[in-house]
Structure 1
Amino acid sequence: MSDFDTVLASWGKVESNISGLGGEVLTRLFTEHPDTQQLFPKFTGIARGDLAGNAAVADHGKTVLIKLGEIIKAKGSSDTIKPLATTHANKHKIGLNNFNLITEVIIKLFGEKGIWDAAAQDALRKVMASVVNEIGCVYKQLGFAG
């Protein structure tokens, strides 16, 4: 079974609560890595204590997980990754390390919630290493130092 298939085997658990989990992912990201909150201009004015349960944070977290699901379902296809990488370089100016940070937050949170066992967590780590590498290649083509 490929790493993509390992992650997909339990992706339904993520989709069943994608908005709630998305909000938790971003809340945890902003709490554990406070500097990342500044990368999201619409969230900069939200106090850390007000992140959990914030509808806008949950909505954007849902978007993040939907896009992650699309990438996983497409098995890391360049056709799926390139548009994301392009907007994250040209518009959002998101450095590559931030993809690694959110990956670890997702792995930790989903492990704590029993969504992913150790094998699925390891599989996502491998999948995202490949995805981040692909994003880095696009960044290089675009001349973004991210």
Structure 2
Amino acid sequence: MKLFILVLCIIGVSCDLVPLVDDQTALVRASWNQVKHNEVDILAAIFKDNPDIQSRFPKFAGKDLKTLKATAAFATHAGRIVGFFSEITELNPTDSGVSAAKTLINQLAANHKGRGISKAQFNAFRASLTAYLSEHVTWDDNVATAWEKGFDNVYLVLFSALDGNPL
């Protein structure tokens, strides 16, 4: 589950996406930069909140989370997930940046659809990641709004692709 969702810094040019304004893009990037090096802790928090998501990973299913956190396989996968978000947040809010983000999100959807990952699991992932962020970064209403708007854009693309209609 290479993480899903991507974040936020998608600046919409399509009428379906609601563009982040410059200060929102800056808030998302700044807050992500506060935690992007906590890969293992981020994935562990998501698994703790969502054992059903952990069970979707054959390497991690049924294993003790504390023990898993110390393994190279867990760290590697956590790095992939966080790296995906890092890549999305760093894309420039230009037409080409939006296009690149859509491509990445559509690939994410294709990779996860075949594994039977549901929209509900993606939503649970989003909720857990948002909770992690709110507890580990400088968080206020403006940061919350920026992340919500960014996630909404990501999930619009993600869920469209899961439904067989990539944007």
Q: How many residues align?
A: 136
Measure the CA separation in 1 of the matches of 2:112 and 2:26. Answer: 26
Shift of the 116–53 alpha-carbon distance from structure 1 to 2, 3 Å rule, reads farther
Letter in 1 for 2:28: V
- Any idea what SS the aligned residue of 1:39 has? coil
Contact 1:81–1:134 under 8 Å retained in 2:
yes
TM-align CA RMSD? 2.2
Q: Show the 5 A alignment for 1:1-146.
A: 1-2=21-22, 3-15=24-36, 17=37, 21-74=38-91, 77-90=101-114, 92-113=115-136, 115-118=137-140, 119-141=142-164
Contact 2:55 2:62 in 1 (8 A): no
Which amino acid counterpart does residue 161 of structure 2 have in structure 1?
A: V
Gapped regions of structure 1 (runs ≥ 5):
none
Gaps of 5+ in 2: 1-20
| Higher relative contact order, structure no. (Cα contacts within 8 Å, ≥ 6 residues apart) | 2
- 1:59-109 CA-to-partner distances (Å, cap 9, x unmatched) read 21111111012222235531221111111112x321122222222222222
SS at match of 1:117: coil
* Structure with more of its chain in helix, by fraction: 1
Instruction: For residue 58 of structure 1, report the CA deviation from its aligned partner.
Output: 2.3
Percentage of identical aligned residues:
24
Q: Offset of 1:45 from its aligned partner?
A: 4.0
Q: TM-score, normalised by structure 2?
A: 0.69
Q: Report the 3-state secondary structure (helix = DSSP H, G, I; strand = E; otherwise coil) of the residue aligned with 1:9.
A: helix
